[in-house]
Amino acid sequence: MIMALRYALGRRTYVTEEVPNFIKANSMYITERICIVMLKDVGNYISDRRNGIIRDDSWDHQSWLNFQNFLFNLAKGRNFNIVGYERR
């Protein structure tokens, strides 16, 4: 899941929606460590986009923001320790 997420971040293709949907559908396999890594990666994407390093569509950006919210809600529901990985 992490490899697919990293591949899809910042791309301008259908993958940017397919990967988060796949991960959500398989969320039972997301451990605390996986969740933290994905939150870090999505957070880095959001920072890079804000700084102009990544230039993708607003649709893709919104998709990743929604996925970040999904991860935060999942972490909260499972009592994962995500201190330090708050929204950027």
> Can you give the pLDDT at residue 86?
65
pLDDT by 10s per residue, the chain, length 88: 999 999 999 888 888 889 999 999 999 999 999 999 999 999 999 999 999 998 888 888 899 999 999 999 999 999 999 888 766 5
Exposure class string for 66-77: b at 16+ Cβ within 10 A, else e? ebbebbbebbee
pLDDT at residue 59, as a whole number: 83
Domain boundaries, the chain: 2-77
Quote the pTM value: 0.90
